[in-house]
Every structure is written in C-alpha cells, then in structure tokens.
C-alpha cells in the first residue's frame, strides 16, 4: 500500500489533495455528498474583511477544456465566517482548514490574516495576492516582486500560523515573485491562480462576462501550471503547493514530480462534485503503477 | 443531489430549436417541480442546467432549446445513449402556497418546469389556470399536454400567429387567481410582478458554473442579501427579488 502522506509547513496531511479556494465554498455543499475528512484539507472561499457580493453576472463562461469565472471574491466577510461558517464547519470537518484571505490594501490583508490566525481550526493562511477579478487589490499585489514582498512581510508580522502566498500566473517571471515572497517570510507558495481570459458572445457581439474578463481554470491550464510549479520549485527552498487544472490522480503525481509538496484541485470539483474523493481513491493504484511506495519521496523528482 | 447515469429513451424535436428528451434512471432526488438537473455533455467542460418538465414512473422528461454548441450536441444524442446527470438540484415551487386557484405563467423555455407543477397542483385538486407565452406559433410545444391537465389554458404569441397577440402577462391579466407561479425570460418576470404583485413565486435563470452552490457564479442580490440561483433558488418568492425600477 502506498504511503500518501505528506507534510505542509510542519502540518502533516493524510494525502496531498487539497480542494482549492473558490471551488469548495466553506465545504458544506460537499460534506453533504461525502466525508470530506478524507481530503488532505481544503482551502475555504477567499474571504475579505468586509462582506462582498462580487462582480455583476454573468460571471461564468465555458472554454475548451475549462472555464472562465469573474466572481470577484463574493464572501460574507471575515466576521461572519468566524461566527457562522467556522462553528458550522466544526461539525463536518475535523482537520485543520486552510484560510484563504484577500484584500484591497495591506491593512485589509493584515487585519484579515490576524483574525484567522487566532482561529484554532485554521492550519494555514493562504494569502491570495492573485485574484484577477477585482480591481485596486488582489492581483495588483501579486504582479510585482516588490509589492508581493511588502504584503507578505506585513502579514508575516501579524500572524504565527504558516503563511502560504498564492501566486498569479499573469506575470512575466513567477519565479522572481516566489523568491521575493520567500525572502519576505512566506512559509510556502501556492500556484497558479487563474489566467486572465475573455470570451465574446457572437450573437450579441459583446463579452459573455459582465466583467469583460475573467480567470481561466480547468484542464486547459494544467501544462502551464505544471511548468510554473517546476520553475518556482527550482527558485525557492520553501514548499510549493501546485494547482491549475488538476483533475486526476496522475495529474497529482505529475505536479509532485514537478515540485509540489501538496496539490490543490479546483475547477474539477465544479463539474464532478466528487472529484477530490475520486482522485484520492485513485491515488494508491496510480502510485503502484509507477512504482511509488511513498508519494512524498517523489516531490521535485522529475529527471531533467 | 445525486450523481447518476441515465439512459436516453427518446430525444426528439418538438418545435423550432426545442427538443424533448426522455431518460430513465434514478429520479428519487427530485422532490418538487421547478428543480433542475445538470447534464454532462461529452466534449464540453461545464454541465448544462436543464429544468425538469416531468417525472413519471422513473422516466425523466427534459425539454431544452438548442442555443449553442453544447445543447446542439445534446440534441444529437441517440436513444440508448447514456448521460451523466446531477439530479435533485435547487429548490422548487412551494405547492402549499397555491390556494384553490393558482395561476401558472410560463414563457418560452420557461414553460417546461410548469408542466410538472401544473400536474402536481391538479393532483392536489387545485383549479389551475396555465398561461403560456411563445414568440410565434412554430415555437409552440406542449399546449395539448397542458390542456389535458388544466381546466383553463391561455396562449399568447408575440406576433399573434396563435392565441392572443402580445405578451402572456397581458393576456393573463384579469385571470382570477389565489397565487401565481412564473418561469420565463427576465422581462416576462418583471412584467409578471408589475402586473400581479408580490404574491407569487418566480424562477430565475443565470449562467451557472457548478449548479450546486459551490462556485458562487450565479449569485443574485435579493432583498435578504446575496443568494445563489442554483442552491438557494432557482425559485424565489417574488417579493424577495429586485425588479426593473427597484434600486439594488
């Protein structure tokens, strides 16, 4: 039997599969379908200090082998998450959850991080500096090494839990940004967030998304995400969490060979609500197929 | 919600760009009219949400319009083929609010879910008036089926090629009713609420990602805050929704 366990910033995971933020809500919809305690963990819906409705609809469009979304960080706000979602989550999720936080200023990020840093249920903070769907914040912090480092170091000062910085692929050199985050005190980086895309409704000659552009995810981004995970792994010595189009057990193995210590699956949950369960169930046989007895042994093991 | 494989028994064109698909499979998760299924169409990434038109003896009837490559591909699925469905999605209409003489208003592809609703209301002994609106006579479907179960059926076509000329909300104005249920394009719903007030339930439509409440793609601002059309709806009390002229 393959040993699927891995470690992320000192916290052990039964397996490397993490449901990605924005595709798993606060877990409740999935907990109605299967026991989500089988997951490595999940990263909850990107949360901001104030509640947000997000962008106008339509905010979903299909693409070949993927989708665009321009949800724009809809969430009930940090206070509501602490008073309602986390207590509720206790009933169906017994593991440490990853708190995905976002903001529009350094002050926002620091305040939100501090709020979740004090929550016993939270294992890691995932700092989203890469949302392509909000203006004046989000991705703005993740597109230059200087601003990425600045927000990372300010949040670092405000929290004790492991800090994972989630990176944007919409940059010219993601490895440089990952290094800047590492130097600023990040305990890990996760990548990739979505790629900025667009679709046009031919009948209306207008964008399908009310926000005009949106973030691309799904299997179509997997090779690009894999390449970036590999590049970042070579540039940093902190753990890398790989994501982007992961939909199968073999995708997980590929991501880990490229350098991922753990792997997030996102869009796959939306088309197959059992995607993470299916991936985890398929992992042992898939590992055996490639002679892997301890999955964490292969991290970064791609032979170049 | 349940994920299960259905077998296509029938998939035929019943009006211009309108198809009726009958499938056999596990329909046990559908509990009320107005709920929908998410169909996985081979070759397309996102599932397609289609409302339930009828359930009878383990046979699920879906009526859909071909509006793009996905539904076009769906229309070419042959009988005997199988499809992966998520069933029992969304909250349907609340039959307990109907009173003795409910008015059921459907426009275009908003009509299919109203068939099961009328059937269930009739089975409960209610005197149902069905008001069905189409653009033109070649778009019409299921009129005979509605006539079989409803004592009164009002038809309107926008171009006057069948029934009352104009919009269905105008044609149904004055129909005595205890409560109304509506499903159709947004302008029709706006006009329904203007004409009949807040004493009704309406079904909203929005582009969806997942269909079961995870992605927040289909949210709508209601008078009680942000709601997901797929999970908190698609059926809402008319008084909860902001309509044209209302300020969000």
Each residue of B192-238: pLDDT tens digit? 999 999 999 999 999 999 999 999 999 999 999 999 999 999 999 99
Cβ <8 Å between A29 and B214: yes
Confidence of residue B243 (pLDDT cuts 50, 70, 90): confident
Flag whether pLDDT at B30 surpasses 90: yes
pLDDT for A138 equals 59
Q: Is the pTM here over 0.90, yes or no? A: yes
B158-167 mean pLDDT: 96
Q: How many percent of chain B have pLDDT more than 70?
A: 98
Q: How far apart are CA A56 and CA A76, in angstroms?
A: 16
Active site residue A131: yes
Flag whether pLDDT at A219 surpasses 50: yes
What are the tens digits of pLDDT across the range A261-294? 999 999 999 999 999 999 999 999 999 999 999 9
DSSP per-residue codes, B19-48: EEEEEES--TT--STT-EEEEE-TT-SS-E
Closest CA to A64 of A284, A218, A272: A218
Pairing, β B129-134 against β B225-228: unpaired
Smallest Cβ distance to A273: which of B3, B226, B231? B3
B114-125 mean pLDDT: 97
Task: Tell me A260's DSSP state.
Answer: E
Q: Using an 8 Å Cβ cutoff, are A65 and A220 in contact?
A: yes
Confidence of residue B247 (pLDDT cuts 50, 70, 90): very low
Q: Which residue has the tokens 């005197």?
A: B127
CA atoms within 13 A on the CB side of B236: 27
Smallest Cβ distance to A23: which of B214, B219, B220? B214
Minimal CA separation from A62 to chain B, in Å? 6
What are the tens digits of pLDDT across the range A114-164? 999 999 999 999 999 987 777 655 567 889 999 999 999 999 999 999 999
Count residue pairs from A and B with Cβ separation < 8 A: 85
pLDDT for B244 equals 65
């Amino acid at each position: 039997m393959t040993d699927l366990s891995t470690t992320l910033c000192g916290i052990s995971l039964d397996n490397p599969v993490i449901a990605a933020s924005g595709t798993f809500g606060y877990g409740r919809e999935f907990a109605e379908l299967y026991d989500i305690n089988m997951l490595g963990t999940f990263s909850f819906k990107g949360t901001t200090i104030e509640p947000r409705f997000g962008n106008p609809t339509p905010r979903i469009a299909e693409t070949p082998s993927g989708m665009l979304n321009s949800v724009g960080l809809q969430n009930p706000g940090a206070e509501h998450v602490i008073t309602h979602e986390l207590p509720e989550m206790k009933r169906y999720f017994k593991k440490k959850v990853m708190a995905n936080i976002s903001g529009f200023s350094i002050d926002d990020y620091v305040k939100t991080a501090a709020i979740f840093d004090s929550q016993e249920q939270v294992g890691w903070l995932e700092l989203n500096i890469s949302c392509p769907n909000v203006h004046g914040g989000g991705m703005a912090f993740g597109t230059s090494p200087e601003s990425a480092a600045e927000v990372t170091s300010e949040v670092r000062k405000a929290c004790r839990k492991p800090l994972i910085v989630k990176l944007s692929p919409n940059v010219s050199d993601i490895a440089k940004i990952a290094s800047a985050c590492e130097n600023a005190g990040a305990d890990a980086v996760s990548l990739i967030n979505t790629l900025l895309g667009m679709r046009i409704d031919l009948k209306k000659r207008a964008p399908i998304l009310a926000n005009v552009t949106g973030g691309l995810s799904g299997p179509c981004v997997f090779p690009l995400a894999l390449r970036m995970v590999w590049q970042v792994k070579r540039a940093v010595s902190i753990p890398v969490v790989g994501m982007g189009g992961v939909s199968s057990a073999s995708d997980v193995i590929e991501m880990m060979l490229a350098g991922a210590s753990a792997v997030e699956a996102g869009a796959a949950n939306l088309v197959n609500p059992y995607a993470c369960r299916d991936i985890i169930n398929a992992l042992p046989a898939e590992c055996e197929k490639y002679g892997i007895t301890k999955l964490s042994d292969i991290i970064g093991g791609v032979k170049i | 919600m349940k994920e299960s494989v259905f077998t296509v028994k029938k998939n035929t064109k019943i009006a211009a760009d309108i198809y009726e698909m009958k499938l056999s499979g596990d329909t046990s998760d559908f509990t009320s009219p107005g709920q929908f299924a998410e169909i996985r169409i081979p070759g397309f990434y996102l599932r397609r949400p289609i409302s339930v038109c009828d359930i009878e003896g383990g046979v699920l009837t879906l009526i859909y319009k071909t509006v793009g490559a996905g539904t076009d591909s769906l229309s070419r699925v042959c009988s005997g083929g199988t499809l992966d469905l998520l069933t029992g999605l969304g909250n349907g209409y609340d039959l307990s609010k109907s009173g003795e003489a409910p008015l059921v208003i459907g426009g275009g592809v908003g009509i299919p879910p109203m068939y099961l609703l009328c059937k269930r209301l009739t089975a409960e002994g209610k005197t149902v008036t069905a008001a069905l609106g189409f653009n033109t006579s070649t778009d019409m479907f299921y009129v005979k089926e509605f006539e079989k179960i409803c004592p009164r059926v009002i038809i309107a076509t926008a171009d006057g090629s069948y029934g009352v000329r104009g919009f269905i909300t105008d044609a149904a104005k004055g129909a005595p009713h205890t409560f109304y249920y509506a499903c159709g394009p947004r302008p029709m719903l706006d006009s329904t609420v203007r004409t009949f007030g807040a004493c009704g339930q309406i079904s909203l439509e929005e582009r969806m990602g997942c269909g079961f409440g995870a992605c927040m793609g289909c949210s709508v601002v209601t008078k009680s805050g942000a709601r997901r059309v797929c999970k908190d709806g698609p059926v809402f009390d008319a008084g909860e929704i902001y309509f044209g002229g209302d300020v969000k």
